[in-house]
Amino acid sequence: MPADAQPTDFSAARIRETVQQILAAGVLPAIVQAGHPVLRQWAAPYDGQLDDAELAQLIDLMRSVMHKAPGVGLAAPQLGIPLQLAVLEDQFEVDAGVAAVRSREPLPFFAMLNPGYQPLGTSTAAFYEGCLSLNGLQAAVLRPASVRLEFTAPDGTPGRRDFTGWQARVVQHETDHLHGILYLDRAELRSLSSNAEYSARWSQPDIALARQELGFLPDGEGTAG
């Protein structure tokens, strides 16, 4: 657990009650924004707090919220649920040149419970990221270019998958959410931009221009995918 992450104080019963209330509301819930303590908690490992039907309904709901946002991942704490569950999917159409620079390939939908990742090798890459819980901001984040993810599938099957490029970035971002970490904790803060400034100035396939003009990663580290 990160030194500054707080363990959730939600009991299993309270987690289930929170999920049941969200499911019973009949509307897509709002995404929790930075400043809410649930985003700074080490979420509870999933150990059967929900029955199979509730878990499946929650995963479907999270997928719908992610699509509406829109985003490529959503963690349960972003709905106010301190549970180690996240959904991921990247089916957006991306310019071929941008996709090549960012090593971005489609990521089929999957849900993961109790995930953890380890870097594979020493290669890193830096690109701008945003977050559905930090509306209006983007910043460059230097991350391992490839990771190995260990997780549990919703049916209880242990899983291990290797990811590289943009998929590895999404996996790390969403897993971090479950451990009380926001992408800004890992970001180059001099790169911080509003969405409008990012779109107007820094939305090139790589971060080379932003790095030069804003003065971050001055040695050029992470400018290539």
Annotated catalytic residues are: 174
Provide the strand spans (E) within 80-120.
Answer: 85-90, 107-119
Q: How many residues does the chain have?
A: 225
What region, left, alpha or beta, does residue 28 occupy, with left being phi > 0 and alpha being psi -120 to 50 degrees?
A: beta
Residues 6 or more apart in contact with residue 14 via CB below 8 angstroms? none
Displacement of CA 171 from its chain's centroid (Å): 6
State the Cα–Cα distance between residues 102 and 189, nearest whole angstrom: 21
